[in-house]
Amino acid sequence: MGQKIRALIVDDEPLARDRIRMLLAGVNDVEVIGEFGDGHTAVKGIRELNPDLLFLDVQMPSIDGFGVLHAIGAEHMPVTVFVTAYDQYALRAFDASAVDYLLKPFDRERFLRALARARKQIPLRPRQSDAADLPARLLSLLQQVRADVYLERLVIKSAGRVSFLKADEVDWIEAAGNYVRLHVASESHLLRETMSAIEGKLDPHKFVRIHRGVVVNLDRIKELQPLFHGDHQVTLQDGSRLTLSRTYRENLERVLRRCL
């Protein structure tokens, strides 16, 4: 038997990772060399392990599939099968490219078809000059699709009334138990969402998590000032002062670098 295909699994849902790993367990020429539950660790893992094949969830909190592609760079991306919950309208864009996708929930037959398509690309990737263009085309494609994916409006229900709020109008968001509190100018609104859920629905090029319980609109940041132990103070244009924790500093710096 020849050298095995080295595969990574990236999905924030443990059951989804288990499903892919179980299906790959019956494939003799594929070896799972790692799995990751978020985009941040996935970027590090892809760089260190250099896999041949990547099963990548598109919508994840903090750094989603788009962010992973940006961070790794087109020329370094392995052959990728996207795992997604997008509807068929959005997926038509994927059908126009050489990449495959798995629409959740998927069965074994559909999985093996995607794997077969990916397997054909893997031997060509190191030798064909146009192979490195594939991830670049995918990135362009995903950027076209993302407008249909991320929330542009938020639905606020209060006292029997329903109002609509443009996502871009939100200054920052904080966790509030089983809710999140949206800060919009001098007003605030409660929304029944978890922090991870709302973060995953917002465009990561516009909104970034700076603390376990805080997401901020990048356009509202006025300045950063160092505090203690790697933390920073984030001052918004309206004077609000938030804390950028050391844990999330790299996350903010990565997004800011893309904006420069």
Domains in the chain, start-ordered, CATH in brackets? 5-148 (3.40.50.2300), 153-259 (2.40.50.1020)
Cα 134 from Cα 77, distance rounded (Å): 9
pLDDT score at 58: 80
Peptide bond into 105 cis (omega under 30): yes
**CB burial readout 88-119, b (16+ within 10 A) else e:** eebeeebeeeebbbbeeebeeeebeebbeebb
Q: Is the per-residue pLDDT at 260 higher than 90?
A: no
Per-position DSSP letters for 200-244, written without gaps between them: HHS-TTTEEEEETTEEEEGGGEEEEEE-STT-EEEEETTS-EEEE
pTM recorded for the entire structure: 0.55
Q: In this predicted model, what pLDDT tens digit does every residue of 166-225 receive, in sequence order?
A: 999 999 999 998 899 999 998 999 998 888 878 877 887 789 899 989 999 999 999 999
Residue (of 41, 43, 49) closest to 71 by Cα position: 43
pLDDT of residue 1: 53
For residues 72 and 80, the answer to whether their CB atoms sit within 8 Å is: no
Q: How confident is the model at residue 97 (pLDDT cuts 50, 70, 90)?
A: very low
Q: What is the mean pLDDT of residues 9-38?
A: 93
- pLDDT at residue 151 in the model: 77
What pLDDT score was predicted for residue 104? 81
Asked if residues 135 and 121 have their Cβ atoms less than 8 Å apart, the reply is no
Task: Give how far Cα 249 sits from Cα of 25, 135, 183, 195, 229, Å.
Answer: 37, 28, 22, 18, 12
pLDDT in tens, 48-84: 999 999 999 887 776 777 778 777 876 678 888 888 7
